[in-house]
Amino acid sequence: MIQIILLIILFLMGIYFGSFFTLATYRLPKKENITYKQSYCPKCNHKLKALDLVPFFSYIFLKGKCRYCNNNIGIRYFLFEILTGIVFVLFGLSLKIDIYSISINQIIYPLLGILYISSLFIIAGIDKEKNTIKNSVLYFGVLVSILYIIYAYTLENTDVHSYVICLVLMIILILIDTIVLKKKLLNNYMNQILILILYMSTFSGFNIGVITILLSILTMGIENIIKYINNKKRALVNTKTNKKPIAFFLCCSNIIAIIFTNFIMNYIIM
């Protein structure tokens, strides 16, 4: 019974985090404050009240419409909140936490994991919408990496040399991105992708990092094939060279790889 309550709490946490992720995805590219500025309807700009901001339930009670201007609220926000809740539950299940004999490690790692997954959700959302990665989220990634390295060294007695190397390379690339590339107005997207890969390798490890890259390449390849078949059926010639949201595919693949690996390690190998 307690385990079920824990999963319900994780789901509720997930949908609340999902609501925040949609807000961050919308505001960060516009350089708007994501903590102090009151939420508002993007259609009529009316400030929203507490009852309008209850994730999942507000959408249902309001029938998918703004209370003030009656415009439709995109269902993708509703689905995204549910997806985030499911991911949080799957992540919790994959860790196989025994609530009756829980240790400090089983408390700290899930918390760090939630911070990590949260950053990936925001990076993925912004990249999908704007084809860019916000440096502010990468800075947050550096903080999460430092906390994880401290955790791994002090509580897990892990050899963290490779993690520290990844962290140092991350910081160097962020400095290059901030000081050199932006100053000269050069395209910094691929540099940010490298930072993201290093971030993933720091938290999830080199092996999962490799799986993430391979899964991303496979997913992008499948998407290209599907688009090609659809265009061929409609007799369309695709002359556009749309920029691939590489970070979006990397983040989604990494979350899947981490959860899948945790399930194997905790339920099959053990």
Per-residue pLDDT of the chain (270 residues; tens, 9 = 90+): 677 888 889 999 999 999 888 888 888 888 888 777 778 877 888 887 877 778 778 888 888 888 888 888 878 888 889 999 999 999 999 998 777 777 888 889 999 999 999 999 999 999 998 888 988 999 999 999 999 999 999 999 999 999 999 999 999 999 888 887 666 666 788 989 999 999 999 999 899 999 999 999 999 999 989 888 887 777 655 555 567 899 999 999 999 999 999 999 988 876
Is residue 121 in some structural domain?
Answer: yes
Pair (80, 116) in one structural domain: no
Pair (20, 154) in one structural domain: no
Domain limits at 79?
1-94
Is residue 193 in some structural domain?
Answer: yes
Is residue 169 in some structural domain?
Answer: yes
Beta-bridge partner residues of 47: 40
Is residue 99 in some structural domain?
Answer: no
Pair (179, 258) in one structural domain: yes
Does the pTM surpass 0.85? The reply is yes
- The residue among 216, 266, 270 whose CA lies nearest residue 244 is 216
Pair (247, 161) in one structural domain: yes
Pair (82, 146) in one structural domain: no
Long-range contacts of 147-155 (CB under 8 A, 24+ apart): 147/112, 147/115, 148/112, 148/116, 148/202, 148/203, 149/202, 151/108, 151/109, 151/112, 155/104, 155/105, 155/108
Look at the chain and report how many structural domains it folds into: 2
What's the rounded Cα separation, in Å, for the pair 218 and 94?
Answer: 24
What's the rounded Cα separation, in Å, for the pair 155 and 16?
Answer: 30
Letter for the amino acid at 262? N
Check if the beta carbon of residue 246 is closer than 8 Å to that of residue 193.
yes
Residue matched to tokens 């496979």:
218
